[in-house]
Structure 1
């Protein structure tokens, strides 16, 4: 029997003290009727780069099906150089394998790598992941290119406009009114559906087992330590994906404890401030995730095996 969703004491206050509203869902991997921690878990949230988990799932499916050779190389051209980390910030065209693009997409959130992969796989392949896993409240407007185009349009720019310049010259009201920041008008999901996706990847249901393992291995190589992993002690392994847009700071992933138990956690925050750097909000993601997982572990302690 499913245990009713519970709100672990103090988690909402963690977000509030950091100047944000938080949305969270946490569950143990492979335990369908176990306890969960839910705070706004069924509210729509802006995915930002968390959507790249869906692209990764479509990628490993395509490789497993023989539709794509991960070792084959492609060229990231000027079309995709929109700035930021990885190939998105390169000065020159670069030739990269599909599997290395997938790694860049997940490990450092390379937007160019994401879009090259997305266009190779096709929107239908990514949407098929959503349909197959029953993620009825998850919706994509496209890839990073489409998202940024909506921002440029919303700020009155044209195809030739520089995104950073437009954002730098926009008022707070203009930014806050953007479709990209409204979970009803942009790429979105719910925290519960994101943990469903993660559970499917860790339980070998999102794709064949070898493909799911590849996705998990790639997610374990993320380089950002300032959000989800910031509150967990040494020895806890974390495989996750961040997501960031003005006011939105997110991370979703799976934490594996030394005893082998694994927990899917999806945390989304919306800050009151438009500041580029919000370390307290970043840290609240880790603190809330840790509190949620510890609550689950206390609710269902590990079994003690006799000799």
Structure 2
């Protein structure tokens, strides 16, 4: 029987989630909340999880708040230089310097998880301001970092030269060493809980995380994320809108976002998975994120 068609009592939901995660070979942590009624459901929702690029959500929020307050020019030009590029999506993989606006740095950071754009934008808005924002909103346990700092930690742990290219060197590292890296450990990497992540999303979607124009800009940018293989995979029908942010790092596969139905009902959901393999391509794991999100949202809708 398809997962979505099975009974949706709370204990049954936990059972189905455990089955989904076992089939994918992962540990799973989930939280979802109805943004209009406040109803919620969690599966290990208060365990700490590695955020990976999900930590970019408060960075784009701080960008939007500073822009709305007139403290930051969204059209100002900035150069993504070699100092920020280490290889990856978007400008992070460009061979030569790229110039773009402040707003487009935020856009690239959220839509394709561009790490170089992230670090430049974080320098512009200030990591101290992002930390103060999170603390002021009550999300004191929500971690944040530059991508470069995380890469430097990897180099240090593996004995690579500072600033050296990571991708080619990582190819020769045994899986066990990759899984033991600090970026996979919520005690040593930016982390939070699934419940705290959906609370942040709820604050953004309910215009409680800043001025309404700032929250609206974050929602708009997040709705344009390009990745369709995780959260979106659980909601293939027309008329369902999804805004989200993925996170990936060796054993970590995440996505957090908001699912909105044609009738206006809205659900913040975060699915955080820890795989036993550091492989770059794990389609069954990615698909488990969409399946798990669908199960818990179906439960709340029922």
Aligned partner of 1:218 in structure 2 is 221
| In 1, Cα distance between equivalents of 2:216 and 2:204 | 8
Aligned partner of 1:24 in structure 2 is 30
Superposition pairs for residues 234-249 of structure 1, below 5 Å? 234-249=238-253
| In 2, Cα distance between equivalents of 1:235 and 1:226 | 18
**Which aligned segments of 4 or more residues in structure 1 are displaced greater than 4 angstroms?**
none
| In 1, Cα distance between equivalents of 2:218 and 2:96 | 29
Q: Give the root-mean-square deviation of aligned CA atoms.
A: 1.3
| In 2, Cα distance between equivalents of 1:106 and 1:85 | 11
Q: CA deviation at 1:212?
A: 0.3
1:34-54 per-residue CA deviation (whole Å, 9 max, x = no partner) reads: 2x2211101010000000101
Aligned partner of 1:133 in structure 2 is 137
Q: CA deviation at 1:6?
A: 4.5
Q: Does 1:149 align with 2:155?
A: no
Aligned partner of 1:37 in structure 2 is 41
Residues 155 and 166, structure 1, Cα contact 8 Å, conserved in 2: no
Residues 179 and 277, structure 2, Cα contact 8 Å, conserved in 1: no
Of 128-137 and 63-72, the range deviating more from structure 2: 128-137
Aligned partner of 1:301 in structure 2 is none
Aligned partner of 1:77 in structure 2 is 81
| In 1, Cα distance between equivalents of 2:282 and 2:133 | 33
| In 2, Cα distance between equivalents of 1:163 and 1:103 | 25
| In 1, Cα distance between equivalents of 2:207 and 2:214 | 8
Q: Does 1:14 align with 2:20?
A: yes
Q: CA deviation at 1:137?
A: 2.0
1:171 to 166, 169, 174: 174
1:20-68 per-residue CA deviation (whole Å, 9 max, x = no partner) reads: 1110000011433x2x221110101000000010101110011011110
1:106 to 95, 110, 123: 110
Residues 12 and 39, structure 1, Cα contact 8 Å, conserved in 2: no
Q: CA deviation at 1:160?
A: 3.6
| In 1, Cα distance between equivalents of 2:295 and 2:170 | 35
- For 1:200, what is the secondary structure of its paired residue? helix
Of 8-17 and 260-269, the range deviating more from structure 2: 8-17
Aligned partner of 2:183 in structure 1 is 180
State the TM-score, normalizing by the size of structure 2.
Answer: 0.94
| In 2, Cα distance between equivalents of 1:58 and 1:30 | 25
- For 2:118, what is the secondary structure of its paired residue? helix
Residues 30 and 199, structure 1, Cα contact 8 Å, conserved in 2: no
Residues 55 and 143, structure 2, Cα contact 8 Å, conserved in 1: no
Q: Does 1:292 align with 2:296?
A: yes
| In 1, Cα distance between equivalents of 2:92 and 2:280 | 19
- For 1:63, what is the secondary structure of its paired residue? helix
| In 2, Cα distance between equivalents of 1:92 and 1:180 | 28
Aligned partner of 2:120 in structure 1 is 116
| In 2, Cα distance between equivalents of 1:151 and 1:176 | 11
- For 2:83, what is the secondary structure of its paired residue? helix
Of 192-201 and 175-184, the range deviating more from structure 2: 175-184
Aligned partner of 2:207 in structure 1 is 204
